[in-house]
Amino acid sequence: MLKISNNNFLFLIFFSSQIFADIEGVISRVIDGDTVVIKSDQGINYKVRLIGIDAPEIKQGYGEEATKYLSNLILGKSLVIIGSNKDRYKRLLGKLVLDNFDINLLLIEKGMAWHYKRYQSSQEKKDQFLYSNAEKYAKVNKLGLWSKSRPIPPWEWRKNKK
């Protein structure tokens, strides 16, 4: 049985709360259609990669539109980031929540991003279902990037640029 001293116990409580706590703050920068910087209420800047979506790259068709849409929606606004994992670039993976509304889902629904199915296992099952159906909705209704004939997914565009 593991014995934990009082000091170690307090450290574990603090450390685990820092890892698993949602981050509240103001969006200080929109880097592109799926990456933002949030300044937490504690004054810490976090670079956040929006989980479950992949938006067109800036230099890719519809990339500027997706970035501008996200920027108009959230820049300077106070919201919550739900997430605790980091990607290989050390960005926090998270879901943006503004007034109890899932911004990641909205981006897919409006045709500003794809549901990033390659990493959907990191999403809750409910979100996998919602994001997948939102993409179908945007595609059928030719919204945003789906208004173009045969839009190229960002993961293919990046692969072709190498």
Q: What share of the chain is helix, strand, coil (3-state, %, to 5)?
A: 40, 25, 35
Give tens-digit pLDDT for 55-65.
999 999 899 99
Chain-centroid distance of CA 28 in Å reads: 15
* Alpha-carbon separation of residue 114 from 42, 66, 120, 123, 128 (angstroms): 32, 11, 12, 14, 12
**Contact indicator for 144, 65 with CB cutoff of 8 Å:** yes
pTM confidence score: 0.85
Give tens-digit pLDDT for 1-30.
334 444 444 343 344 334 446 999 999 999
Q: What is the pLDDT along the chain (162 residues), one digit of tens a residue?
A: 334 444 444 343 344 334 446 999 999 999 999 999 999 999 999 999 999 999 999 999 899 999 999 999 999 999 999 998 899 999 999 999 999 999 999 999 999 999 999 887 888 999 999 999 999 999 999 999 999 989 999 999 998 887
* Alpha-carbon separation of residue 27 from 66, 68, 73, 80, 114 (angstroms): 16, 14, 10, 10, 22
Which residues is 97 bridged to in the sheet?
A: 80, 102
Q: How far apart are the first and last CA of the chain?
A: 51
Residue 146's pLDDT is what?
97
Q: How far is residue 154's CA from residue 133's CA, in Å, rounded to a whole number?
A: 19
**Contact indicator for 155, 66 with CB cutoff of 8 Å:** no
Residues with catalytic roles: 49, 57, 91
Residue 21's pLDDT is what?
62
Residue 7's pLDDT is what?
45
Residue 10's pLDDT is what?
39
- Length, in residues, of the chain: 162
| Ranges assigned E (strand) in 22-154 | 23-32, 35-40, 45-50, 53-54, 78-82, 92-98, 101-102, 114-115
Kindly list the structural domains of the chain, giving each domain's residue range(s) and its CATH number in brackets, ordered by start. 22-161 (2.40.50.90)
**Contact indicator for 132, 139 with CB cutoff of 8 Å:** no
